[in-house]
Structure 1
Amino acid sequence: MRVILKAICLLFLGLTFVFTSHHVFAIKKKLSTEKPENTKKEKLADNINIIRYPGSTAIALKAKQAIVTDYFTGKILLEKHAHEKMPPSSMTKMMTSYVIEEKLKKGEVSLDTTFLVSEKAWRIGGSKSFMPLGEQVKLEDILRGIIIQSGNDACVVAAEGLYGSEEEFVDVMNSTAQEMGMKNTHFVNSNGWYTENHYSTAYDLALLGSWLIKTHPEFYPIYREKNFTFGKDQKGKSITQGNRNPLLYKDLGCDGIKTGYTDEGGYGIVASFIDKDRRYIIVINGLSSMQERSDEAAKVVYWIKQNFVNKKFYSKGDVVDEVPVWLGVKNKVQLEVAEDIFGLVLRSEQKNNVDIKKNIPPSLSAPLRAGDVAGQIIITIDKERQETPIIVKESIEKVGFFRQIILYITSLF
């Protein structure tokens, strides 16, 4: 009897083990089949609210806010929540450096001008340039500290030195932002430290980046410098800090502009890069790590290179026509293009969506001077129109009085 009971128990335990193993295997199988579905949903989520240039390839972005613009035309090539208010973090410092550069450009200060490092500047937290308390520092070092080292202390030193207080400096930042058309931006401090009511948008930061490059080309090379040495550590050793822009260390054509990070805003960057003489402005924000920011920024650069090409239609000096000259010592004059003509087109559609027209008069009257505007070349790409002057290639003098009479009489017959 005992043997029979023992056999029944063993049989029961065996069936339980088989059932349990089968159940666990089924759960694992279900989870394994669900994982790709979740990944697919995550990728779809990354694509939500992305607006791309018509005809460009799809791209998934982890960034919460993003925009890509063509520097020359301002055309938006890619955007994701581009007008959504967000903490601009240290990307704020682009406006700080812009205000400083305006003062330098106007000659109100020089790079050798020195400012005192106050206790407020010295004590500030976050990224620092290690400005020495109570000492005078040259504006050139302060500017490099802001742009390259992202020094919060350097921002306060500049603000107090230029306008007496950071509050007064911030007022100038805000008024300048409005002049630029940054309609959804408001600054509360000079360095981007997270504060309530301190915000901007990806669109506004792209606009600021373009303004900075266009209006201050003499200072822009600083933004691509990879390191800057300033300040001393506790042992008296010089401190060298690297530029936080990850694209500067990749062979992608990037030459600026500024990174940023706060707990509230995440990791972001405003970047500018050139691809075959065409400049683009990129803004991404809301990434979870420095590595994710670096990967995402490089991904956007490759997307631009994959989709767009800077097509050259004419070179400066190309002869586009020859027209008769009335009352000239020469009967005809050649007309040429006043400057190089480029256009941003989709790499896959270089011959499509491009319309070229020449607006040239049937004849011209002497006297003519080389460089006189005689007409226009009108290039329309995807309904976007750009005009370039057509000019007279050489000077042609007017014939003498008696020759004019002969020509008039000849024309009558």
Structure 2
Amino acid sequence: MKPHFIRKSAASILVLNMLCFSLVPAMALAEGGQTQQTTQKESTTTTKSTTPAKGTAIPSAESLDLKVSSAILMDAETGQVLLDVNGEQALPPASMTKMMSEYIVAEYVKQGKISWDTVVTTGKNAALTKGSRIFLAEGDQHTVKDLYAAMAIGSANDATVALAEHVAGSEQEFVQLMNDEAKRMGMTTAHFANSTGLDIKDMPEEFRTPGDQETVMSAKDAAILARYIVTDHPDFNQFTSLQTYKFRERDKTPIVNLNWMLEANKDITNFKKYAYEGLDGLKTGHTQNAGNCFTGTAVRDGHRLISVVMGTSSDSARFVETRKVLDYGFNNFETKQVVAPNATVTGSETITVKKAKNTEIPLVSSQEVAFVIPKGADISKVESKVTMTPESASLTAPLPKGTKVGTVTYTLKPDGMNQTLEKTVDLVTSQDAEKANWFKLFMRAIGDFFSDLFNGIKNLF
């Protein structure tokens, strides 16, 4: 027999054996899924538009000539801060403290722990409380709704204390709830010493808070608190927008809302110069230490803003300064959608899912992204950064539509603003990943095996 014939026969037998033995790993692959990819996508990707920006100018905070100790303007939907004048400094907030008391009581009603019709019996602490009040006597009984209205509209300290004691058993226990809520909300400067905002020395002596740590809160924290109110309790204005409230039938005059800026006041002689379109809340405050403060909120064309001014010189000044702040927001900013819902992210259009009928599953962002930007600002410079979850490298069918595989963070630095805006949303599958049947998995495994085999042989030569 010729040597070259022997070598050819031996090679044929070797290849035949390899083909036969290939059925075993092919079956295993069909059962266990696709082979691991030799390379993986980077966990983060960044895309950027190079479209030139348009020039956009907005007035500076200095140009408003605000006569305040501090001020903040916040967009209610996004939480964006649009104006900040010393907004991080902790200052005495006076009766703006009651916003936290209002929030907690409204939460207890929402959760069914109490109702608006629940009857509250006035205790000694409430009866002795000074300042703005409705002259409750110990043992008086009124509904939660009536006391809440007196607190929200007339800033009644005695009504506030009565509610605090009813909710928590004592005002000090209620104060603990207030401070716990402040932490949960992300308020970094706030500390509450009582439910009303009174200085400790002005509390009834036997009920005073131990120590000398007075109530403080920055303008930014006040805005954060207000945002929780308007978001979690969108019916807040059923109280705060009322011009007057009749507390008792025998009362000769009703409680008058201390918020002169209510839009409803546009026809009231004494208040019409302060009335502001769309304004329906929120809370005034005044003590000697705090000066005159006001947290206001107004909505126009579905866009709600929250303003806070602290340390103004008079009752009227707090409303004059608030008008400047709100006008600054409504005149210069707009909410703009920068990314549509279910948007594809460049560089992360699909993901591989093992054992799926179609292994490449499309990906989209989970929701729209909107920023509050200067009117007319260019939005083409939005950047996106994708971060994949560790689990995304080994996804296996079946998977439902909407499965989270990572996040995408969108950022924009608009012209005319010093801050970079940022929002992170989930990156999810846009369709179901159905599991392939056994035959398809089997044939796919055989194909992968032979592809690897012949690529290996090809690389030998």
Per the TM superposition, whether the score is higher than 0.5 is yes
CA 1:307–1:378 in structure 2 vs 1: closer, same or farther (change >3 Å)? same
Aligned pair partner of 1:271 in 287, 296, 318: 296
Report how far residue 330 of structure 1 moved. Answer: 4.9
**Which residue number corresponds to residue 7 of structure 2?**
none
Q: Does residue 157 of structure 1 match 2:154?
A: no
* Aligned residues with identical type, % of pairs: 28
Q: Which amino acid aligns with 1:202?
A: A
Aligned pair partner of 1:80 in 70, 85, 99: 85
**Which residue number corresponds to residue 349 of structure 1?**
377
Q: Which amino acid aligns with 1:272?
A: T
Q: In 1, Cα distance between the equivalents of 2:407 and 2:189?
A: 38
Which moved further from structure 2: 327-336 or 223-232?
Answer: 327-336
Report how far residue 397 of structure 1 moved. Answer: 1.8
**Which residue number corresponds to residue 254 of structure 2?**
239
- Whether the 8 Å CA contact 2:364–2:428 is kept in 1: the answer is yes
**Which residue number corresponds to residue 121 of structure 1?**
126
Higher relative contact order (CA 8 A, sep 6+): 2
TM-score by structure 1 length? 0.71
Q: Does residue 135 of structure 1 match 2:140?
A: yes
CA offsets 1:246-296 (integer angstroms, 9 cap, x no match): 155456444432111234433211123456665543210222333322222
Q: Which amino acid aligns with 2:308?
A: V
Report how far residue 308 of structure 1 moved. Answer: 2.7
Aligned pair partner of 2:411 in 380, 391, 401: 380
Report how far residue 213 of structure 1 moved. Answer: 4.1
Q: In 1, Cα distance between the equivalents of 2:299 and 2:278?
A: 5
- Whether the 8 Å CA contact 2:106–2:233 is kept in 1: the answer is no
Q: Does residue 68 of structure 1 match 2:83?
A: no
CA 1:356–1:223 in structure 2 vs 1: closer, same or farther (change >3 Å)? farther
Q: In 2, Cα distance between the equivalents of 1:109 and 1:232?
A: 22
- Whether the 8 Å CA contact 1:212–1:220 is kept in 2: the answer is yes
TM-score by structure 2 length? 0.65
**Which residue number corresponds to residue 408 of structure 1?**
445
Q: In 1, Cα distance between the equivalents of 2:246 and 2:365?
A: 49
Aligned pair partner of 1:206 in 220, 223, 226: 223
CA 1:107–1:276 in structure 2 vs 1: closer, same or farther (change >3 Å)? same
**Partner SS state of residue 272, structure 1:** strand
- Whether the 8 Å CA contact 2:344–2:365 is kept in 1: the answer is yes
**Which residue number corresponds to residue 389 of structure 1?**
426
- Whether the 8 Å CA contact 2:291–2:312 is kept in 1: the answer is yes
Aligned length: 358
CA 1:145–1:262 in structure 2 vs 1: closer, same or farther (change >3 Å)? same
Structure 1 unmatched ranges of 5 or more: 1-53
**Which residue number corresponds to residue 284 of structure 2?**
259
CA 1:341–1:177 in structure 2 vs 1: closer, same or farther (change >3 Å)? closer
Superposed CA RMSD in Å reads 3.7
**Which residue number corresponds to residue 330 of structure 2?**
305
Bigger share in strand: 1
- Whether the 8 Å CA contact 1:206–1:283 is kept in 2: the answer is yes
Q: In 2, Cα distance between the equivalents of 1:356 and 1:120?
A: 56
CA offsets 1:12-53 (integer angstroms, 9 cap, x no match): xxxxxxxxxxxxxxxxxxxxxxxxxxxxxxxxxxxxxxxxxx
**Partner SS state of residue 109, structure 1:** coil
- Whether the 8 Å CA contact 2:401–2:430 is kept in 1: the answer is yes
CA 1:167–1:388 in structure 2 vs 1: closer, same or farther (change >3 Å)? closer
**Partner SS state of residue 268, structure 1:** strand
**Partner SS state of residue 271, structure 1:** strand
Structure 2 unmatched ranges of 5 or more: 1-55, 202-213, 265-274, 414-419, 452-461
